[in-house]
A and B are shown apart, each in its own frame.
Chain A
Amino acid sequence: MITMARDLPLLWPEILVLLAGAGALACEMLRLPRTALAVATALLLAATALSLPLLSLDTTVFGGTFRVDALSVWAKLILLPATVLALLLARAELAGSDREGTVYALLCFTSFGALVLAGSGDTMFLVLGVLLSGLGAFALVAYPRDDAATEAAMKFFVFASVAGAVMVFGLSYWFGATGTTLLDDLATPGLPPAAIAIGLAGMIVGLGYKASLAPFHFWAPDAYEGAPVSVAAYLSVVPKIGALFALAQVARDLPPGSGWSGAVAAVAVLTMTWGYLAALVQDNLVRLLAYSSIAQAGYFLLGIVAVGASPLALLSLVLFGAAYAAMNLGAFAIIQRSGRTLESFAGLGRARPAVGVAMVLFLLSLTGIPPLAGFVGKLLLFGAAIDANHTWLAVIAIVNSVLSLAVYLRIVVALYRQPAGAPGVPAGGALVTLVWVAALAATLLIGLAAQPLLAPLV
């Protein structure tokens, strides 16, 4: 049976994240937004630190419903620092606005939802995680309360409601087939294949919306565009990685012969191609990065397809997750600093060489150029897919990477183009600089240090 004394200490990181949200809320009540930020940041960092000792574990708590394994612990180590960076971006963008502390609280709660997703060993957690990481996100998107933000949040909300309902409907079939909500029991032989398929379809819809996989991605560009840039940066990283890791958790338990990997691979192809093709024609950088983040989600699926078939799968997911978080947050930080349109980037590389170089590095990393973090992650993902006999998928992914070069080079060209008018370079605050420097450091570090890090694991 369950022993609280054993299980609760394993959940300390989650408890601290929750306390971070509650603490920020309490500070907001006392009208102390700066304290709210400090409390949330400190507790999130403490939670990250407390996750480190859990790295060696591969166990479950509360009767198998929640997993404390490599994937879930690495999710904490990636998502919590990413949340801290998002908090700083939000502070830089929204300081002094009404109910500023609420933003920090909602960011913490949404991250908690992403962590719930990443560790789910039970369909209940999938549903709860999708809900929890969604509710806060709607409010964050609508936070500026202007027309654009409200419209974005409405689209997001309606899409999320339908996707969530489809997901719950699908998962109810799994419950009906297995008689339990545990994901473990999906591996039981002799389950009705129709029920498994419907459940899988529902789950791909629900988690696919959360991770903005095509064709459930329509909300993402609109929501990111209407939302504050910091919120868009956050949404493109934290809930997305949480949902993708949840998909990996489910994939571990799906019966191998049921053809689920084919379905996921099809979604991967669609997502990557659609994402980059749409990104090609965007002039708004937030929309461009939104489509790019959709395409990147497709790359994650390469690792998920390989789950259970290749030992590289989990490693590649974790590594690409960390790399993606760093480079995407960095790119968004620079957009927040310099402006949302391609025009506002004109000549930035000459006016501010450091910023320009950083942006180029982020974009190259997103493309997957060595020796940056994105390259290592993508390389492992391709390897995992090939390992799992999905060579064709890896080939399509590589072709898409070439396509992505065209997408990202548009920004690089703009950076070093002569500005049309006056070089109106908005000054970013020290916080934004801190964020992109940190993200840049992570991007370089992951890329350069990956080999020795990987050596004992591979």
Chain B
Amino acid sequence: MAFEKLVFYILAAILVYAATRVITVRNPVHAVLHLVLAFFTCSGLWLLLEAEFLAITLVLVYVGAVMVLFLFVVMMLDINLAPMKEGFVRYLPVGLPVALLMLLEMYLVVRAKYFGVEQMPLPPRHGADYSNTAELGGVLYTDYVYPFEIAAVILLVAIVAAIALTMRRRPDSKYQNPAQQISVRRQDRVRLVRMEADKNE
């Protein structure tokens, strides 16, 4: 128990630190890397909650794929953050009320009256044979199979939409057709011409 608590506090501290750095650090690449660290520690916290499937999937999907592409783009674009920060004071009158409003909303709802520790009892610990992965699969493919499949369709539509928008056959683009290349025959490429040898030197 005590050990778990210790691990929790260490991970939580790293998470808060990393998340803060994401928005305070100057270099965008560093910001992305801090975000990666935040995801990683977050996944550690989920492990403590016995949600190993979600924890590993978080690392696999977000750290392993999404953030790699993020990093890819950030490195390629070479963003300079300084001009972005200039607008900070200008937009503060708009941003601050929104932030305060959200804070107020959170306070109204997350007040101890409704969501305090007393209202939410600790879920029971599971035995050693409990498999989070199997449980999740059991729910996902029965009760929630319909929304699950719709989410899959959303991904499909996103792919179709992205490809429809970006990939066009341009008439001026040149590309190789390997099938055509390998089926080429000698007649298509070489023409043998019989020529008289030049007689007068």
A residues apposed to B, CB below 8 Å: 1-2, 4, 11, 18, 25, 61-63, 65-66, 98-99, 102-103, 105-106, 109-110, 112, 116, 122, 124-125, 128-129, 131-132, 135-136, 138-139, 142-143, 145, 169, 173, 176-177, 192, 194-195, 198
Residue contact B114 to A177, C-beta cutoff 8 Å: yes
Closest to A122 in B: B147
Residue contact A98 to B169, C-beta cutoff 8 Å: yes
Q: How far is the CA of A128 from the CA of B146 in the complex (A)?
A: 11
Do A125 and B147 form a contact, CB below 8 Å, given A2-B142, A105-B160, A109-B160? yes
Which B residues are in CB contact (< 8 Å) with A135? 154, 157-158, 161
Residue contact A106 to B157, C-beta cutoff 8 Å: yes
Which one, A1, A11, A145, contacts B165 given CB within 8 A? A145
Q: How far is the CB of B102 from chain A (nearest CB, A)?
A: 8
Closest to B143 in A: A63
Interface status of B150 (Cβ within 8 A of chain A) = yes
Binary per-residue interface labels of chain B (19-61) against chain A in the complex, 1 for a CB within 8 Å, 0 otherwise: 0000000000000000000000000000000000000000000
Interface status of B115 (Cβ within 8 A of chain A) = yes
Q: How far is the CA of A192 from the CA of B106 in the complex (A)?
A: 12
Which B residues are in CB contact (< 8 Å) with A11? 146
Which A residues are in CB contact (< 8 Å) with B108? 192, 194-195, 198
Do A66 and B146 form a contact, CB below 8 Å, given A99-B168, A145-B165? yes
Main secondary structure of the interface of A (DSSP, over half): helix
Which one, B109, B151, B165, B168, contacts A195 given CB within 8 A? B109
List 13 extra interface pairs beyond A132-B153, A139-B165, CB under 8 A.
A18-B153, A62-B143, A65-B147, A66-B146, A102-B164, A109-B153, A124-B147, A128-B147, A139-B160, A145-B165, A173-B109, A192-B108, A194-B108
Can you show 22 pairs from A to B with CB atoms below 8 A apart?
Answer: A1-B142, A61-B146, A62-B144, A62-B145, A63-B143, A103-B164, A106-B160, A109-B153, A109-B157, A116-B150, A125-B147, A128-B154, A132-B153, A136-B161, A139-B160, A139-B165, A142-B165, A143-B165, A145-B168, A173-B105, A194-B109, A195-B108
Which of B144, B160, B164 is the most central at the interface, judged by chain A CB atoms within 10 Å of its CB? B164
Residue contact B114 to A132, C-beta cutoff 8 Å: no
Which A residues are in CB contact (< 8 Å) with B143? 2, 62-63, 65
Which B residues are in CB contact (< 8 Å) with A142? 165
Residue contact A177 to B147, C-beta cutoff 8 Å: no
Q: How far is the CB of B119 from chain A (nearest CB, A)?
A: 10
Residue contact B154 to A131, C-beta cutoff 8 Å: yes
Q: How far is the CA of A116 from the CA of B163 in the complex (A)?
A: 24
Q: How far is the CB of A87 from chain B (nearest CB, A)?
A: 16
Q: How far is the CB of A179 from chain B (nearest CB, A)?
A: 9
Q: How far is the CB of A194 from chain B (nearest CB, A)?
A: 4
Which A residues are in CB contact (< 8 Å) with B157? 106, 109-110, 132, 135-136
Interface footprint category on B:
20 to 34
Which B residues are in CB contact (< 8 Å) with A138? 161
Q: How far is the CA of A11 from the CA of B144 in the complex (A)?
A: 14
Which B residues are in CB contact (< 8 Å) with A136? 157, 160-161
Which one, B113, B146, B156, B164, contacts A139 given CB within 8 A? B164
Which B residues are in CB contact (< 8 Å) with A109? 153, 156-157, 160
Residue contact A65 to B169, C-beta cutoff 8 Å: no
Q: How far is the CA of A112 from the CA of B142 in the complex (A)?
A: 21
Q: How far is the CB of B100 from chain A (nearest CB, A)?
A: 15
Which A residues are in CB contact (< 8 Å) with B144? 62, 65, 124
Per the 8 Å Cβ criterion, residues 86-138 of B in contact with A are 102, 105, 108-110, 113-115
Q: How far is the CA of A188 from the CA of B69 in the complex (A)?
A: 44
Q: How far is the CB of A232 from chain B (nearest CB, A)?
A: 17
Which B residues are in CB contact (< 8 Å) with A122? 147
Which B residues are in CB contact (< 8 Å) with A173? 105, 109
Q: How far is the CA of A135 from the CA of B155 in the complex (A)?
A: 9
Which B residues are in CB contact (< 8 Å) with A198? 105, 108-109
The list of the 10 closest CB pairs from A to B, nearest first, reads A139-B161, A194-B108, A102-B164, A128-B150, A109-B157, A124-B147, A195-B109, A135-B157, A62-B146, A192-B114
Residue contact A99 to B164, C-beta cutoff 8 Å: yes
Q: How far is the CA of A135 from the CA of B144 in the complex (A)?
A: 22
Closest to A3 in B: B142
Which A residues are in CB contact (< 8 Å) with B156? 109
Q: How far is the CB of B175 from chain A (nearest CB, A)?
A: 15
Q: How far is the CA of A136 from the CA of B154 in the complex (A)?
A: 9
Residue contact B114 to A195, C-beta cutoff 8 Å: yes
Residue contact A143 to B147, C-beta cutoff 8 Å: no
Residue contact A65 to B146, C-beta cutoff 8 Å: yes
Which B residues are in CB contact (< 8 Å) with A124? 144, 147
Q: How far is the CA of A105 from the CA of B164 in the complex (A)?
A: 11
Q: How far is the CA of A18 from the CA of B168 in the complex (A)?
A: 25
Closest to B142 in A: A2
Closest to A62 in B: B146
Q: How far is the CA of A65 from the CA of B113 in the complex (A)?
A: 29
Closest to A105 in B: B160
Which one, A2, A18, A128, A143, contacts B151 given CB within 8 A? A128
Closest to A7 in B: B146
Residue contact B150 to A132, C-beta cutoff 8 Å: yes
Q: How far is the CB of B98 from chain A (nearest CB, A)?
A: 10
Q: How far is the CB of A88 from chain B (nearest CB, A)?
A: 20
Closest to A199 in B: B109
Do A106 and B164 form a contact, CB below 8 Å, given A66-B146, A195-B114, A198-B105? yes
Q: How far is the CA of A257 from the CA of B153 in the complex (A)?
A: 38
Which B residues are in CB contact (< 8 Å) with A62? 143-146
Which B residues are in CB contact (< 8 Å) with A99? 164, 168
Which A residues are in CB contact (< 8 Å) with B110? 176
Q: How far is the CB of B146 from chain A (nearest CB, A)?
A: 5
Which A residues are in CB contact (< 8 Å) with B154? 128, 131-132, 135
Q: How far is the CB of A22 from chain B (nearest CB, A)?
A: 8
